Amino acid sequence: MSVLVTGGAGYIGSHAVQRLLAEGHDVVVVDNLFRGHLAAIDRLRQRAKGGDRLGFERLDIGQTDAIEAIIRERRIETIMHFAAWTYVGESVEKPVDYYTNNTAGSLSLIRACERSWSHSHGGVKRFVFSSTAATYGEPPAEHVPIRENCPQHPINPYGASKLMVERMLIDAVSAAARHGRNFGAACLRYFNVAGADRTGLIGEDHDPETHLIPIAIQAALGKRPGLTIFGDDYPTPDGTCIRDYVHVEDLADAHVTVMQKMRARETVAYNLGIGRGYSVREVASAVERVTGKPIPITIGKRRAGDPPALFADPAKIRRELGWNAGWTDLDRIIATAWDWMRHNPDGYKS
């Protein structure tokens, strides 16, 4: 199959590209390289199986005409849409940028899909969208673990910018179906994505880094003075927030499974998590175990918009598509991130 991957030079997108190539698909990455890394594409081309089946176009997803031309030339049937801005705090500061990049950018892609239906190959049939658990906002305790039918009330522009795309897809898919078009969409709501490719080829390289596991590892490596825990007075067993950490390889696997099994003429939503949560303290202890180094810990103030506990009920995707997270051991997940960061201390610039 020919797959267009937006944001394929980024953390999650590059792992999905690796998996698609391994499964024999042809891939074209569209990435504006604002936060993605061309080195990730180079590494995938050089060392991963099927690197010669990987195309790259430096483009913004807002360039609808150029995207439509790629769909036509490469006979694209599936779009996996990862390209997005993803920092909650930044989204509060720059909401218009988030709605422009995430919401309007996705609309541009949906428009390109719509135009492609008149192409000789029939155009795009599947749209797999990177959504987020942030669309659920702060769910009341009785909704945790979170099922897909939990009410979606995002509490920041990032979550809102993604929820609007889910809504646009529902409407675009049903309108297409009314016109007899075989177009379907899947909204994959990620929980906390972690880890790196087990072979060490690609991994997580964010600037600035805000995520707990890489920050804790940087603290263990001595690249930061320590880890500040954002609040230890939450209503959880050890007072720190609980999250569901899903391995990036499992996430990539879920995308390919969804692409193969999703149906035309409907929009589906699936939670992607392992179905159990770990507290910030548990994560910090796991990083100490894996790295064998102590992490100096300071207790700081709560971070705005952090719900006490967020973890998935992943039963729906297991039941409907047979997907299950293979990586369920926190230490093993962290070990892949540790390997990546040890061998690439400056990320892709190493």
Applying CB under 6 A, the residues found at the interface with ligand UDP are: 192, 210-212, 215, 227-230, 241, 243, 280, 303, 306
Q: Are 127 and 182 in contact, with CB atoms under 8 Å apart?
A: no
Work out whether strand 278-279 and strand 242-243 pair parallel, antiparallel, or are unpaired: antiparallel
- Percent composition of the chain: helix, strand, coil (DSSP 3-state, to 5): 45, 20, 40
C-alpha–C-alpha distance, residues 98 and 329, integer Å? 34
Q: Which is nearer to ligand UDP, 224 or 316 (CB)?
A: 224
Respond yes or no: is residue 245 known to be catalytic: no
CB of 181 to ligand UDP, least distance (A): 35
Peptide bond into 151 cis (omega under 30): no
285 backbone dihedrals φ, ψ, rounded to 5°:
-65, -40
For ligand UDP, the nearest residue by Cβ is 241
Q: Which is nearer to ligand UDP, 180 or 208 (CB)?
A: 208
* Residue-level length of the chain: 350
Q: Which is nearer to ligand UDP, 56 or 190 (CB)?
A: 190
CB of 229 to ligand UDP, least distance (A): 4
The Cα diameter of the chain in Å comes to: 61
Q: Which is nearer to ligand UDP, 183 or 245 (CB)?
A: 245
CB of 323 to ligand UDP, least distance (A): 21
| Core vs surface per residue 132-142: b (16+ CB within 10 A) or e | bbbbbbebeee
CB of 281 to ligand UDP, least distance (A): 9
Q: Which of 98, 158, 190, 278 is catalytic?
A: 158
Which residues are catalytically annotated? 158
